[in-house]
């Protein structure tokens, strides 16, 4: 039980920031392209408390982690209110709003990786902080890959809608009401790994390349 509690504590901060800053990035990007809905709702903030959904951000991730022995972790924040019709160029700008969330997760993974390097340089031996940094990298790479799944309303699906020709995009968008069930079905059938594993590996490889200068600096 103590090990489980420690694991939850290690992942708590990375998961909360990974989920909430994902939504914040979408809101700021939408405002940049003309939609002030998130700002009007008071959601344009980097403060996680503004975005936390008690069930989706705390309870569900903890229950899933414990129930699957760490094999599956999923959570969500309060959805950022975005009115895509207010974007200056809705179809084109949708791509930027969509990619901003996964990009925020990748940047956070990079930041946690930098922290891990700094901890080694400072010879910090406290395993809790070292494990938290590793959890931050893993959590954000997982969310980066998950949100890029090309099924709406996930970011990858919205990106597809933005990039596809208009008629194809309209037809593809029709599966959005069933997107959650499609993803959960893929998870139950253990087919998500065929997307998650290679995308996370690609993200990890890119991180290693970006971190090379910092390994020399430290």
Neighbours of 3 (CB within 10 A): 7
Q: Is 191 exposed, middle or buried (0-12, 13-18, 19+ CB in 10 A)?
A: exposed
Distance CA 61, CA 67 (A): 10
Can you give the residue range of the structural domain that contains 66? Answer: 2-217
| Domain count along the chain | 1
Please report how many Cα atoms fall inside a 13 Å half-sphere around the Cα of residue 156, on the Cβ side. Answer: 14
- Region label for 42, one of left (φ > 0), alpha (ψ between -120 and 50) or beta (otherwise): left
**37 with 83: CB under 8 angstroms?**
yes
Q: Is 78 exposed, middle or buried (0-12, 13-18, 19+ CB in 10 A)?
A: middle
- pLDDT per residue as tens, the chain (218 positions): 567 677 778 888 898 889 888 989 999 999 999 999 988 888 888 887 788 777 777 776 666 666 656 555 666 777 788 998 999 999 999 999 999 999 999 999 999 999 999 998 888 888 899 999 999 999 999 999 999 999 998 999 999 999 999 999 999 999 999 988 898 888 888 888 899 999 999 999 999 999 999 877 66
pTM, two decimal places: 0.89
């Amino acid at each position: 039980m103590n090990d489980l509690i420690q694991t939850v504590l290690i992942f708590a901060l990375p998961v909360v920031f990974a989920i909430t800053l994902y939504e914040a990035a979408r809101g700021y990007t939408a405002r940049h392209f003309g939609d002030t809905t998130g700002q009007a709702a008071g959601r344009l903030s980097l403060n996680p408390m503004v975005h936390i959904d008690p069930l989706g951000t705390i309870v569900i991730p903890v229950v899933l982690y414990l129930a699957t022995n760490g094999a599956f972790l999923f959570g969500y924040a309060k959805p950022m209110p975005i009115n895509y019709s207010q974007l200056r160029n809705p179809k084109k700008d949708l791509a930027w709003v969509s990619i901003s969330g996964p990009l925020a997760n990748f940047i956070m993974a990079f930041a946690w990786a930098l922290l891990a390097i700094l901890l080694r340089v400072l010879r910090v031996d406290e395993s809790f902080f070292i494990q938290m940094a590793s959890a931050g990298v893993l959590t954000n790479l997982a969310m980066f890959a998950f949100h890029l799944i090309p099924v709406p309303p996930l970011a990858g699906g919205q990106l597809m809608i933005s990039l596809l020709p208009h008629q194809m995009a309209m037809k593809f968008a029709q599966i959005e009401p069933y997107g959650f069930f499609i993803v959960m079905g893929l998870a139950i059938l253990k087919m998500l790994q065929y997307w998650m594993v290679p995308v996370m590996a690609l993200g990890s490889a890119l991180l290693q390349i970006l971190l090379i200068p910092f390994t020399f600096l430290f």
